[in-house]
Amino acid sequence: MEESLSIAALSQDADTYKNEFALAIRDLSTKDGCQPDVMREQGGFSRVTGADLYFIYCGNPANREHRWYLDPQSNKLGQEKNEI
């Protein structure tokens, strides 16, 4: 969890959602291509325009397998926006 918190601290909204981001990173670390070193070097969080969701990517954001959406209010994580 310490590594996940360290990575989450790099996000622009870490002041508000650091713990929620860290939990998502921890959950995603079990997925192929989303290990902590990949998230630290080639990952990121972006707020979805017009929604209270965040777009998370591990590595290349063009690779659909490594793109996720997070609702930090419910900690719900899904690969499709409509799953959240």
Does the pLDDT value for residue 43 go beyond 90? no
- pLDDT per residue over 28-40, tens digit each? 998 877 888 888 8
Three-state DSSP class for 13?
Answer: coil
* pTM for this entry: 0.86
Q: Stretch 28-54: mean pLDDT, rounded?
A: 88
Look at the chain and report how many structural domains it folds into. 1
Containing domain of residue 64, as a range? 2-83
Dist CA 44 CA 55 (whole Å): 8
pLDDT for residue 33:
78
* Tens-digit pLDDT profile for residues 65-82: 889 999 999 999 999 988
Average pLDDT over residues 39-51: 89
